[in-house]
Amino acid sequence: NAGVTQTPKFRILKIGQSMTLQCTQDMNHNYMYWYRQDPGMGLKLIYYSVGAGITDKGEVPNGYNVSRSTTEDFPLRLELAAPSQTSVYFCASSSILWGAGYGYTFGSGTRLTVV
Amino acid sequence: AQSVTQPDIHITVSEGASLELRCNYSYGATPYLFWYVQSPGQGLQLLLKYFSGDTLVQGIKGFEAEFKRSQSSFNLRKPSVHWSDAAEYFCAVGATDAGNMLTFGGGTRLMVKP
C-alpha cells in the first residue's frame, strides 16, 4: 500500500524552465492538496481538488497550475520557474470522510531549487 | 478564515525533561485540530487529533494534547522527552467546508540535549 507518492524527490531548475511535480495516491481519496513549505512559514496551500475534474486555488496559487483528470493523480505544473518558487512541495490526500477522523496522508515531498 | 499560531520557533529541552509546545488557533466554529511531526528530510506524520469529546487526547509516541476552548489553544505535551523526539512540530486547524483544508502554524523546531 503506497499511500501518496511524489516524484521527483529533488530537482534543480533554471529560471524560466518548466516542470511538473507528480503526485499519485492509491487510497481512492476524493480530496487532494498541494502545499509548499518554507522555513519558519509552515505549510501554505497552493491548490486543492475535491474530486476528478474539480480544482481550486489555495492561499498561494500564483505561478502554478494543476489538473485532476483522475481520482489518483494530481500533478502540479510550474510554467516559468522563479527563485521564489524554491521550496519543498508536499502533496496530500484525504477521504471525503475526513470529518470522521481520517485526516491527511502526506507524500514524502519534492525539494525544488530554482537557480 | 482560520489561522494557527505557534509562538515558539525553537525549543531546546534536555533528554528526560517534560515538554510543552504551544498552539493557538482562530476559527469561527468548533475546530478540528491536529499535531503533525516532521523529521529531517521526511514528510509529515500525524501525532494526534481532536474532533470532539474528551478535551485531552492521546497520540502516538507518548504525546498528548489538551483542547482549551476558552483559550483557543491546543498545546502538545510529553512527560519525558527522548533524543529521537528532535524534529519539527506543526499544529493545524481543519475546516470542514470548501475541501476539508488544513491550515498550518509556522512550526516549532525541537532540539533535545543529551
Residue B42: predicted pLDDT: 82
Contacts of B108 (CB under 8 A, 6+ apart): B6, B8, B9, B10, B11, B21, B22, B88, B89, B90
Mean pLDDT of chain B: 91
Residue A17: predicted pLDDT: 97
Distance CA A15, CA B26 (A): 38
Chain B residue numbers with beta carbons less than 8 Å from the beta carbon of A109 are 42-43
Give the residue, A45 or B2, on which the prediction is more confident: A45
What count of other Cβ atoms lies within 10 Å of the Cβ of residue B26? 13
In chain A, which residue's Cα lies nearest the Cα of B34? Answer: A103
Residue A103: predicted pLDDT: 74
Distance from CA of A50 to the nearest CA of B (A): 6
- Phi then psi for residue B109, to 5 deg, are -90, 120
Per DSSP, the residues of A13-48 read: E-TT--EEEEEEESS--SEEEEEEEETTTEEEEEEE
The percentage of chain B sitting over the pLDDT mark of 90, rounded to a whole number, equals 68
Mutation to test the B interface, candidates A98, A102, A105, A110, most B Cβ within 10 Å:
A98
Q: Is B27 touching A (CB cutoff 8 A)?
A: no
pLDDT in tens, B98-112: 567 788 999 999 999
pLDDT in tens, B25-37: 998 777 889 999 9
Positions in chain A short of pLDDT 50: 100
Residue A97: predicted pLDDT: 60
Residue B9 has pLDDT above 60, yes or no: yes
One-letter identity of residue B58:
Q
The percentage of chain B sitting over the pLDDT mark of 70, rounded to a whole number, equals 96
Distance from CA of A115 to the nearest CA of B (A): 21
Chain B residue numbers with beta carbons less than 8 Å from the beta carbon of A100 are 51
- Cell numbers for A51: 474530486
Chain B residue numbers with beta carbons less than 8 Å from the beta carbon of A106 are 43-45
One-letter identity of residue B55:
T
Q: Which of A31, A42, A48 is closest, CB to CB, to B107?
A: A42
Distance CA B19, CA A93 (A): 30
Q: Is B102 touching A (CB cutoff 8 A)?
A: yes
Q: Is B53 touching A (CB cutoff 8 A)?
A: no
In chain A, which residue's Cα lies nearest the Cα of B100? Answer: A98
Residue reference for cell 502554478: A64
Chain A residue numbers with beta carbons less than 8 Å from the beta carbon of B102 are 33, 45, 104
pLDDT in tens, B10-30: 999 999 999 999 999 998 777
Q: Say if CB B45 and CB B102 are below 8 A apart.
A: no
Distance CA B108, CA B10 (A): 5
Chain B residue numbers with beta carbons less than 8 Å from the beta carbon of A103 are 34, 46, 49, 94
Answer positive or negative: Cα dihedral of A7, A88, B98, A94.
Answer: positive
pLDDT in tens, B48-57: 999 888 899 9
Residue B80 has pLDDT above 80, yes or no: yes
